[in-house]
Amino acid sequence: MTVLVASGRVWQRNWLVYKRLWHRSLAFGFLQPVLFLTAMGLGIGALMGGQDLAAFGGVEYIHWLGPGLLAAMSMQTATFESTYPIMNKIMWGRNYEAMLSTPVGIRSIVGGELAWSAFRIGSLAAVFLLVLALFGIVRTPLALLAIPFSMLVGVAFSSCLIAFTATQKNDVGFSAIFRFVVNPLFLFSGTFFPLTNLPEPLRAVAWATPLFHGVELIRGSILGQLDPLTAPLHLAYLLVMLAIGTYFAERLLTRRMAG
Amino acid sequence: MTTPSSLVHARGLTKRYANGFTAVDGVDFDVRPGKAFGFLGPNGAGKTSTMRMIACSSPVTEGELTVIGMDPRTQGREIKAKLGVVPQIDNLDTELTVRENLEMYARYFDIPNDVARKRADELLEFVQLDERAKDQVEPLSGGMKRRLTIARALINEPELVILDEPTTGLDPQARHLLWERLYQLKRRGATLIITTHYMDEAEQLCDHLVVMDKAKIVAEGSPRQLIDQHSTREVLELRVTDAVRDSLNGQLEALADRVEALPDRFLLYTADGERTLEQVNQRQIPIESALVRRSSMEDVFLRLTGRSLVE
């Protein structure tokens, strides 16, 4: 059995659990963007009526906001999928201990969990994209690229979070991750307002953080404004993050599981 | 050199953890195919660490270890494919049903779906859980969970089954049912490695035993051999009042090969317990109660380490 096949088994185990509630998960995945777009896009967007829309790339606020929310959703889903459930499989439910008594190895566990995270986020992104289409935000078939871009954002975060979770002895660290990493990124990655509104030093910080690059890729593909010069840079940033995260996830999980 | 007839071969096997603690200190043993091999010892003796090294889930620090003719350092995956592991703490998948636990585990071994289904049926019947196949794991009793864990460990038709304290924490009825199933397994020709701190479990199930204490093997043999070598045939257990206890002044020592003074009773090791009891009565030592029994592994352990097994 190759590492790839074994990764598939780890993925399959998650699917076995998830398939009992997939409809609930996707229904929630539909409802959430509808609520957000209605409240923030239409509600707040209406206040911006008649103002200069150049800051939003010449589109209405709701069109600018929607794709940003998809990127943020990808990060948040990855954070949920790769903290508590991973901790459960390490410590509370001891699933990994059971898997490691079989030919399934650490590399396959990391591969399977990342594939799972990609699948979950990919399916939610597809639903999200459908909502954006219903709101009339999607304007080009290139928008479909937003799905793989969302998956990439997801696995880039997941890999780093699995590495982090492998070092934790309890779940106290997770609330710090939510408060001091996920929330600031959610707010300051060009999701709700253009980074050009930030003072210069803060803008540089935002450029260095990962969600910003996801927002740029996803917004560019949905609005048909993907810049061929900067897009490869955003892509490279996320791929490097994924590579580093995966390397440490495997290393730290190995250290954790084999005493 | 690996003896061809041994499934597990260990020489100078040592486990030292990163904090410097030596859990297993240079042990030698050989597990023969088709036998039940037991590690008997108190908690912290090094049994679980030894198991984990055999199961390739903990790296060997020093020494020689061969499992099913392979080296755990380089062939962990190949070895694991042929092992069944029943861990000390249950690690069943509580998000899956009883049957799914077996079928999913089979998939980790790359066993095809149809074969997995067939084996799951057979094994559920074997561990008498066929009626619970569709239930979730959590409402099962401790004994049922253990039986399911054993069924899961057999899904890949392993050459060697490792059971780490299989009946710890179970009530007597559940223990007897489990022993009966393990005995059936043995009759089918399976090789078992069992750790336990219960002497009755060791006597019931094991053909060959090593007694571990403080990271070392202190004795080895069949339960019968160990008792013959390290204890007398019978034991006379005497209870006396504290006042009598203080006035004995070594009188009992003259009547037996060896005397152990436990907090609540004396153990007199002797070939003939009834005769020794007569001698005690002849000397008019006032006793509260007396019991003659055969020597057990508990006595062997007490003799070898000066301590009881279950403290």
Q: Do A98 and B92 count as a contact with CB atoms less than 8 A apart?
A: yes
What is the average pLDDT score of chain A?
Answer: 92
B122: left (phi over 0), alpha (psi -120 to 50) or beta: alpha
Q: pLDDT tens digits for A10-25?
A: 999 999 999 998 999 9
Q: Which residue has the tokens 């039940």?
A: B36
| B218 CB neighbour count, 10 Å cutoff | 18
Q: Are B309 and B298 in contact (CB under 8 A)?
A: yes
Averaged pLDDT, A190-207: 86
Residues of A in contact with B80 (CB under 8 A): 101-103
* Cα(B217)–Cα(B46) distance, integer angstroms: 9
Residue B309: predicted pLDDT: 57
Mean pLDDT, rounded, for B279-291? 90
Residues of B in contact with A16 (CB under 8 A): 96, 100, 104
For an interface test with A, which of B54, B86, B107, B163 has the most A Cβ atoms less than 10 Å from its Cβ? Answer: B107
Return the minimum-mean-pLDDT range out of B106-115, B149-158, B241-250. Answer: B241-250
**Which of the four pLDDT bands, split at 50, 70 and 90, describes residue A204?**
confident
Of A102, A257, A259, the CB nearest to B80: A102
Q: Which amino acid is located at B262 in the chain?
A: L
- With a CB-CB cutoff of 8 Å, which residues 109-138 of chain B face chain A? 109-110
Mean residue pLDDT of chain B comes to: 91
Q: Which domains does chain B have, with CATH numbers?
A: 8-221 (3.40.50.300), 232-294 (3.30.70.980)
CB-CB neighbors (< 8 A) of A89 in chain B:
none
Using H for helix, E for strand and C for coil, what is the string for B13-49?
A: EEEECCCCCEEEEEEEEEECCCCEEEEECCCCCCHHH
Residues on chain B touching A258 (C-beta within 8 angstroms): 57-59
What's at A140, amino acid-wise? T
Q: Where are the domains of chain A?
A: 3-257
pLDDT tens digit sequence for B191-215: 999 998 888 888 888 999 999 999 9
- Tell whether B100 is within 8 A of chain A (Cβ): yes
Name the minimum distance, in Å, from the CA of A208 to any CA of chain B. 37
Residue B141 to residue B125: CA distance in whole angstroms: 17
| Average pLDDT of span A55-79 | 90
Taking a contact as any Cβ pair under 8 Å apart, which residues of chain B between 16 and 75 contact chain A?
Answer: 17, 52, 55, 57-59
Burial class (CB in 10 A: 0-12, 13-18, 19+), B53: buried
Burial B278-306 (b: 16+ CB within 10 A, else e): ebbeeeebeeeebebeebbbbbbbbbbbe
Note the helical H segments in chain A: 3-18, 22-36, 45-47, 61-81, 84-87, 95-99, 106-134, 146-166, 172-177, 183-188, 200-208, 210-223, 231-257
CB contact under 8 A, B104 and A5: no
Q: What value of ipTM does the predicted structure carry?
A: 0.90
Does the pLDDT of residue A173 top 60, yes or no?
Answer: yes
Cross-chain Cβ contact B17/A105 below 8 Å: no
In the predicted structure, residue A168 carries a pLDDT above the cut 90: yes
Q: Which of A1, A93, A100 has its CB closest to that of B57?
A: A100
- What pLDDT is stored for residue B1 in this prediction? 45
pTM for this predicted structure? 0.90
Q: Is the pLDDT score of A51 beyond 70?
A: no
Residue pointed to by tokens 């990764």: A7
| Cα distance between residue A229 and residue A184, in whole Å | 27
As a whole number of angstroms, the distance between CA B155 and CA B165 comes to 20
Test A93 with B91 for CB contact under 8 angstroms.
yes
Rounded Cα distance between B117 and B216, Å, is 43
Residue B270 has a pLDDT of 93
Instruction: Please answer whether residues B213 and B42 qualify as being in contact, where contact means their C-beta atoms are separated by less than 8 angstroms.
Output: yes
Nearest CA distance, A117 vs chain B (angstrom)? 18
Across B271-284, average pLDDT? 91
Work out how many CB contacts closer than 8 A connect A with B: 68
Q: Which of A40-44, A94-98, A128-132, A209-213 has the lowest mean pLDDT?
A: A40-44
Q: Contact B87/A259, CB-based, under 8 Å?
A: no
Percent of chain B whose predicted confidence (pLDDT) is above 70: 97
CB within 8 Å: B105 and A94:
no
Cβ within 8 Å, pair B96-A16: yes
CA pair distance B204, B183, nearest whole angstrom:
9
Interface of A with B (CB under 8 A): 1, 5-6, 9, 12-13, 16-17, 93-95, 97-105, 257-259
Mutate to test the interface with B, among A101, A108, A256 (most CBs of B within 10 A): A101
Nearest chain A Cα distance for residue B73, angstroms: 13
User: What integer pLDDT is reported at residue B2 of this predicted model?
Assistant: 45
